[in-house]
């Protein structure tokens, strides 16, 4: 970060930044995002080096258990979502891995700026204590913890899905599961993954929610649902 205590120097820097932004706004914005991502990667044990999101180990072994423990204690709702880029292997094969890496980083930036967390040391934007995100797969998969009920999580994930579709040239599928206060972390992840699988099987580029089947309380059969008249593209 750039810091100065001199008033004139600060004024000159602000003028310089305005001039740079006016000349090339896209390049200036990209440079700021790169700096922010590099700052987030400062602690490799915590952050994924490529995307700047929380790394898989820290995200799944510390943040997720903490959120579930808080929810079990307070009774407040929490949901877990898995976001997976559609047909990403084909995209890499067609456009090359360099372009694929750029797309991956763009998606990570979109997710990051919409799921701020109090543990993040990036101070460029206000923090959102109600959500956090990590890179959980070997390449194209992300996990998001949302402190809201199932319908609230669905609305938030649909906004993310639509934003990614608008700002990149790929789509994502999303699976969501709600924590019931007693389900294990592994089972919660499994349920979100099941919902993600259903989204993939039903055409991709959509969000699906996992919920126990209402046909029989003792049945192992599960259902996947979306709210009435869901937005589909």
The reply to whether 156 falls in a domain is yes
The reply to whether 176 falls in a domain is yes
- Assess whether 69 and 179 both reside in one domain: yes
Q: Which CATH number covers residue 130?
A: 3.30.70.270
CA atoms within a 13 Å half-sphere pointing along the CA-CB vector of 82: 25
The pLDDT score that the predictor gives to residue 189 is 96
Number of neighbours of residue 124 by Cβ within 10 angstroms: 13
Domain that residue 14 falls in = 7-40
The pLDDT score that the predictor gives to residue 228 is 39
140 part of the active site: yes
The reply to whether 63 falls in a domain is yes
- Assess whether 34 and 62 both reside in one domain: no
Closest to 123 measured CA to CA, from 45, 59, 35: 35
- Assess whether 36 and 106 both reside in one domain: no
- The verdict on pTM exceeding 0.95 is no
Q: Please name the residues in contact with 58: beta carbons below 8 A apart, sequence gap of 6 or more.
A: 45, 46, 47, 134
- Assess whether 113 and 198 both reside in one domain: yes
Helices (H), 24-121: 25-40, 56-58, 64-74, 88-95, 97-114
The reply to whether 2 falls in a domain is no
Q: Which of 30, 140, 201, 214 is catalytic?
A: 140
In tens digits, what is the pLDDT along the chain, a chain of 233 residues? 444 445 666 666 666 667 766 777 777 676 666 666 666 555 547 889 889 899 999 999 999 999 999 999 999 999 999 999 999 999 999 999 999 999 999 999 999 988 854 444 444 433 344 689 999 977 799 999 999 999 999 999 999 999 999 999 999 999 999 999 989 999 999 999 999 999 999 999 999 999 765 322 222 334 444 443 333 23
- Assess whether 69 and 172 both reside in one domain: yes
- Which single residue is written with the structure tokens 């209402």? 214
- Assess whether 149 and 217 both reside in one domain: yes
- Assess whether 30 and 135 both reside in one domain: no
Cβ–Cβ < 8 Å for 181, 71: yes
Cβ–Cβ < 8 Å for 77, 67: no
The pLDDT score that the predictor gives to residue 98 is 94
Domain count, the chain: 2
């Amino acid at each position: 970060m750039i810091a100065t205590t001199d008033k004139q120097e600060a004024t000159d820097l602000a003028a310089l930044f305005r001039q740079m932004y006016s000349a090339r706004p896209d390049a200036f914005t990209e440079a700021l995002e790169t700096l922010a991502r590099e700052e987030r990667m400062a602690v490799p044990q915590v952050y994924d080096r490529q995307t700047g999101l929380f790394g898989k180990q820290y995200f799944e072994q510390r943040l997720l258990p903490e959120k579930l423990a808080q929810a079990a204690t307070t009774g407040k709702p929490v949901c877990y979502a898995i976001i997976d880029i559609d047909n990403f292997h084909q995209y890499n094969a067609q456009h090359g891995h360099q372009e694929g890496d750029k797309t991956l980083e763009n998606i990570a930036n979109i997710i990051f700026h919409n799921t701020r967390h109090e543990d993040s040391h990036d101070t460029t934007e206000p923090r959102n204590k109600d959500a956090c995100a990590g890179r959980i797969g070997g390449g194209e998969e992300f996990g998001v913890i949302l402190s809201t009920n199932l319908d609230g999580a669905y609305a938030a994930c649909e906004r993310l899905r639509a934003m990614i579709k608008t700002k990149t040239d790929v789509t994502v599928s999303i699976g969501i599961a709600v924590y019931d206060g007693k389900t294990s972390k592994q089972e919660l992840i499994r349920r979100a993954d099941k919902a993600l699988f259903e989204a993939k099987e039903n055409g991709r580029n959509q969000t699906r929610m996992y919920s126990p089947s209402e046909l029989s309380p003792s049945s192992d059969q599960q259902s996947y649902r979306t709210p009435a008249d869901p937005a589909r593209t």
